[in-house]
Amino acid sequence: MERFYCFSKDKFLDFFKALESFGTVQAPVRVTDQSFAFRAVKEPKEIAFEALRTILPPKKFFYPGRETLVSWQGNEVKDHQPEIQKQVLFGVHPCDLAGLGIMDTIFSAEPQDNHYLLRREATIVVGLSCMPDKHCFCKSMGTDTPDSSAYDIFLTDIGEEYFIEIKTPRAYALFENDQLLLKPITEEHREKYKDFWLKRSEAFQIGFASDNLRATMDMEWDNPVWEELGNRCLSCGNCVPVCPTCYCFDVIDVASLHEDGGERIREWDACQFTGFAKVAGDFNFRPGPVDRLKFWYRHKLHGFEDPHGMPTCVGCGRCTVSCPSGIDDIVGTVLRLQAKVEEEPKKGPANDK
């Protein structure tokens, strides 16, 4: 099902209350002068509607940084069942919706990840339109329009009103008791809706031609660009937790100090860490930062295409703004590999948010 309505921004409190009737509302809030984070909110005035990218992407709600998978006591082993609470994730932009769609593909593949899927099922996702800044390149990655498989509701800002797309029956049910909130759309609403998305498409400031991206990554594997960028990499791993689609993890057993028991814990890992590719025999498949950086770029821009037919980069720009060495400028790097520019456009840290 998909139904189209509109509602006045003056009625946003009523819309918010309808969302609250399902569960805790998580939305972007301002945490510093330059950064935003998803937090539980109780009033609309807490929401930072202007937030373009949060520090961490929405994956943290479904795939937490650290969680217990199994516990044991003596010879008894139990699967750990996560505590699931209903929630509404509000303000998810198209790039992050694409990221959720990719994570859904990964975690629903066999063997399915029950923890992720239970949290996903308990969450209503509300998408929100946005305008790109100088770091956004989702248009180049084909993720600039909302992934309809990833949201329940999507709001497009058309001035004094929101154009609302309701995708799922459970989302529609939220408004059944308030027939006065949602209004039928008119031809004027449709025109405003189309006008917004046309202007947004024309507002991107950076990007690259992606039709030859796969060939570029294959043919430029030995390009000197990798040596230059890799030697500046600090191996801090900052680019991994901020990525909406990075999902590598480590599993460790933590024994109790006082009892004959313990827990098996999963926690986020990063392919940029020195020991990530280290195996038995003290052999490391990617011992240097150049090897690891090339691997990361390839996985983001090409590697996922072989099994699933799509790259995993969604063009959100988080890695670009969070890299202390300024080497995760994906657009600049691709343009150099494509010989569209001869030198890196900007040196040094990219934290000029």
- Token pair recorded at residue 11: 């009625």
Tokens of 344: 């890196």
pLDDT of residue 351 exceeding 60, the answer is no
Alpha carbons 246 and 150: distance in angstroms, whole number: 17
Phi/psi of residue 302, nearest 5 degrees? -145, -45
Residue 353 pLDDT > 70: no
So what's the pLDDT on residue 224?
A: 95
User: Please, what is the average pLDDT of the chain?
Assistant: 92
| Rounded average pLDDT over 262-279 | 94
Query: What pLDDT is recorded for position 65?
Result: 97
Q: Is the pLDDT of residue 177 over 90?
A: no
**Which amino acid belongs to residue 9?**
K
Q: How far is CA 198 from the centre of its chain?
A: 24
The model's pTM is 0.93
Q: Report the pLDDT averaged over residues 182-200.
A: 97
Residue with tokens 């990499």: 233
Strand, coil or helix: 157:
strand
**CB under 8 Å, gap of 24 or more: what pairs does 175-181 form?**
175/18, 178/14, 178/18, 181/7, 181/11, 181/14, 181/15, 181/18
Residue 219 pLDDT greater than 50, yes or no = yes
Residue 250 backbone class (left: φ over 0; alpha: ψ -120 to 50; beta: rest): beta
**Which residues touch 244 (CB under 8 Å, ≥6 apart)?**
57, 58, 59, 95, 96, 98, 99, 100, 102, 103, 314, 316, 318
Answer yes or no: is pLDDT of 52 > 90.
yes
